Amino acid sequence: MQLCFTCIQLLLITFLTLTAGQKVETVPDSLQPLVGVWNQSVTLPCHISPPVSALTLHVRWYRVRYNEPVHLYRYMHDDFSAQDSVFRGRTSLFQEELEKGNVSLRLTKLRPSDSGVYRCFVEGDTWDDQWEIRLIIPVMGSQPTVSQDSTVQSRLLCRSEGWFPEPRVTWRDRRGREVMSYTTLDQNTQGLFRITSHIDVPRESDVFSCMVTAGEPHGESKLHIAEDLYPPVCGWKVLFFLTVTLSVIAVPLLFHAWWKLDKKCTYVANLVTDHLEKELAGLKQPIKSVAQLL
Ligand SMILES: *[C@@H]1O[C@H](CO)[C@@H](O)[C@H](O)[C@H]1NC(C)=O
Ligand SMILES: *[C@@H]1O[C@H](CO)[C@@H](O)[C@H](O)[C@H]1NC(C)=O
């Protein structure tokens, strides 16, 4: 009798030490986010280590709200009574894997809003543990559009929407150099981002690209080359007129020529006017000096 009591005690201690050391882990490393595809399925990995059967344990997958689980398994059944309605009919555990301690979750019909941190919480009689894994469902937004600001003529706007996760914008000039920009982001009800960005155009450059990217390192990107602000023919014409005008100082002729330039050139013409005014102001000094000499 005494012997048997000791052996029960021993068994109990062995059982406790064995099970108290259980941990919950994910493979691969959960520091790397898992990337899912919109409308497809994903398996969020999680297993007990060293392995014990999870058939009689509680397995709770949840995001932020513990009481509104993504999936709950307890008393040897899936329990959908408190499930977050967003996940209704879209989750399952691998029944045949449970006894190997594999409590991975299958999530189907992925939506962009499923992106986020998932917690795999396993509870035994004598231990519990949880692990986190991040899921991202990248969504590529619309082709960026580049346009001239209606109020500030020397400003270019780039717009694109429907991105997830947060997009970034990069502006480059013709030589591929990055141009400083000002960017704002907002999110629609589906959680998708809209990006609006602008640059102030320096005079000497002419072609700009606006590139929007999201979701490194599995990011998507789209490129848009801005409409040439200085159409070659127009630019050449202006340059021609500028040269002629400066050499003969025939300002009336220049104004006449501008009338003929098509509307696309108006912006260039404005820039040239500014430039010309400065040039003329610079010319006035020597002319004055010449006049004084005469
Ligand atoms: C996903 O499915 C929905 C509904 O069937 C559809 O409207 C949407 O375009 C799909 N999205 C993608 C990226 O395939
Ligand atoms: C758990 O089960 C899933 C589905 O069968 C499988 O993809 C995954 O590799 C398993 N994990 C481990 C650690 O065995």
Write down the domain spans for the chain. 22-136, 145-226, 235-263
Interval between CA 90 and ligand 2 midpoint (Å) = 18
The answer to whether the 22-136 and 145-226 domains have the same CATH topology is yes
Mutate to test the pocket of ligand 2, among 104, 106, 133 (most ligand atoms within 8 A of CB): 104
Which ligand is nearest to the Cα of residue 46, counting in written order? 2
What pLDDT was estimated at residue 244? 33
Average pLDDT value over all residues in the chain: 73
**H or E segment at 70?**
none
% pLDDT > 90, the chain: 35
Which ligand is nearest to the Cα of residue 162, counting in written order? 1
Closest residue by Cα to atom 6, ligand 1, is 39
Most confident of 135-144, 219-228, 261-270: 135-144
What pLDDT was estimated at residue 222? 55
What pLDDT was estimated at residue 189? 83
Q: What is the pTM (predicted TM-score) of this model?
A: 0.61
What pLDDT was estimated at residue 48? 92
- The fold of 22-136 is Immunoglobulin-like (2.60.40)
Interval between CA 93 and ligand 2 midpoint (Å) = 10
Q: Evaluate: CB of 40 within 6 angstroms of ligand 1.
A: no
Q: Which atom of ligand 1 is nearest to the CA of 39?
A: 1
Closest residue by Cα to atom 14, ligand 2, is 102
Which ligand is nearest to the Cα of residue 104, counting in written order? 2
d(CA 258, CA 274): 14
Q: List 132's β-bridge partners, or say none.
A: 119
Q: Is the CATH number of domain 145-226 2.60.40.10?
A: yes
pLDDT tens column, 26-36: 665 556 788 89
What pLDDT was estimated at residue 165? 84
Is the pLDDT reported for residue 69 higher than 60? yes
Cβ-Cβ contacts under 8 Å for 173 (sequence gap 6 or more): 179, 205, 207, 208
pLDDT tens column, 73-97: 999 999 999 999 999 999 999 999 9
Residue corresponding to tokens 């004598």: 126
What pLDDT was estimated at residue 6? 47
* Distance set, CA 236 to CA 25, 29, 111 (Å): 67, 59, 52
